[in-house]
Structure 1
């Protein structure tokens, strides 16, 4: 009888050991988005300030890194920390007069402007599909902490105004991935989204990607994808805005 129970006991130990495994994922990379959109103060009757036409913004390079920890503790969500540094400054000569925060910037004036949409994401999530064939899926909640600003300064005049973006925003989080079968190395396609539409704010941030890794004990690999981040504000802290950053990104990744 003990001989019959021994294989079962070993199998249970093996399953338990696998279930108790703690996983760590990390990545760092660069994102090259095009910047577009407009913004204006809520109390302004003038036309919104156009990022490209008025201020000369086109594209930029943003840095990004993340760390995710997954564990077997029941009911306790997994955790992902992600930081995106998205900041760009421009000098441009105005082709028309613009108004921002009660200040008027006259046509032909040289202005220095800054757009900083940097943010840190704190995400708790659950794996709702894990090991089901080649599919996996996560759902959860992200708190996105912005720590940026929008500013315009006239070089030869006194006009100098800014709006601080320093607010935590809750977002729904979802991620899905399909591991390509029969590939000679770990290869997958997937997508991730953060989304919120409430009150006067709508924020959507989604990406599609292809990921590959070396088939080692510690998987070292990379991710190539496209990310689009859009933020629409209607009288949020006195600001109306419709801003978009979208473009390709590439990351180096490691999975323990």
Structure 2
């Protein structure tokens, strides 16, 4: 008799939405400080070479709204600057906006993009032990890249503005009696020779957890890759990777 009762109790914890789900509206607001290491390159052709970029700390912000109406998706918006600059001695010719920078030229290179995610998702599970979300993301990549010859001062830039549809998934696993959660989420898309992924994973600790507000300290690792194939005449293959720490408020 004990085993069936125990099994039913565990199943109730896993699949009951009453423990953690928002009965009216749940608002999540978060901000992260992300220390990025940037690798890759850009050009007007697919002949890319690796450019040097300095590490940089940049911020990421998000807001999400969840509700109890099953047929309507929840919504999340996340905004992340993707910026980096550095100096490179070119190992081969590089073309940008009808300007060719010759092999051996010392250049200043800069990438200044923003990534804004417009996500609609459904909660498949939502309780104190496990949550799982699936949805779609319209990832809006906007900004420019820039190169300047350090000797002659000749410069060239190229702009890009594109909405790229991606799949979205998120999962959280609670660690009972610890105040800790493991979390992971990400977006992914690939078609033709274009690839976008934006994934992160980490651990969160509940600093405040009551009926009015939850405050969680988050830390983890995030990786973003933007590989564009002739999008607005631009080719890129750039990785942004690094650790982050942040706070999340849940009302």
Q: What's the TM-score, normalizing by structure 1?
A: 0.81
Q: Which residue in the other structure is 1:193 paired with?
A: 186
**3-state SS, counterpart of residue 246 of structure 2:** strand
After alignment, is 78-87 or 110-119 more displaced?
Answer: 110-119
Q: Which residue in the other structure is 1:21 paired with?
A: 24
Retained in 1: the 8 A contact 2:148–2:154? Answer: yes
Q: Which residue in the other structure is 1:50 paired with?
A: 50
Question: Deviations 1:18-63 (Å, cap 9, x if unpaired)?
Answer: 8642101111121011101123322x7xx523222xxxx1321111
Aligned partner (choices 231, 235, 242) of residue 240 of structure 1: 235
Retained in 2: the 8 A contact 1:200–1:236? Answer: no
Aligned partner (choices 122, 129, 135) of residue 125 of structure 2: 129
**3-state SS, counterpart of residue 21 of structure 1:** coil
Retained in 2: the 8 A contact 1:63–1:86? Answer: no
Q: Which residue in the other structure is 1:115 paired with?
A: 111
Aligned partners of 2:22, 2:228: CA distance in 1, in Å?
Answer: 44
**3-state SS, counterpart of residue 157 of structure 1:** coil
**3-state SS, counterpart of residue 56 of structure 2:** coil
Q: Which has the larger radius of gyration?
A: 1
Aligned partners of 1:242, 1:153: CA distance in 2, in Å?
Answer: 20
Aligned partner (choices 26, 33, 38) of residue 36 of structure 2: 33
Question: Deviations 1:139-167 (Å, cap 9, x if unpaired)?
Answer: 01111111211111224436322121211
Q: Which has the higher strand share?
A: 2
Could you tell me which runs of 5 or more consecutive residues in structure 1 were left unpaired when the two chains were aligned.
1-14
Q: Which residue in the other structure is 1:215 paired with?
A: 209
Task: Report deviation, 1:249.
Answer: 0.5
Aligned partner (choices 134, 147, 155) of residue 152 of structure 1: 147
CA 1:36–1:198 in 2, change beyond 3 Å: closer, same or farther?
Answer: same
Question: Deviations 1:55-96 (Å, cap 9, x if unpaired)?
Answer: xx1321111111111012231111101110121233x36254
CA 1:95–1:165 in 2, change beyond 3 Å: closer, same or farther?
Answer: closer
**3-state SS, counterpart of residue 147 of structure 1:** strand
Retained in 2: the 8 A contact 1:104–1:159? Answer: no
Retained in 1: the 8 A contact 2:38–2:84? Answer: no
CA 1:93–1:121 in 2, change beyond 3 Å: closer, same or farther?
Answer: closer
- Size of the aligned set, in residue pairs, is 229
Aligned partners of 1:160, 1:123: CA distance in 2, in Å?
Answer: 37
Retained in 2: the 8 A contact 1:94–1:106? Answer: no
Say if 2:100 is the partner of 1:100.
no
Q: Which residue in the other structure is 1:7 paired with?
A: none
RMSD: 2.1
Retained in 2: the 8 A contact 1:141–1:170? Answer: yes
Task: Report deviation, 1:106.
Answer: 4.0
Say if 2:77 is the partner of 1:84.
no
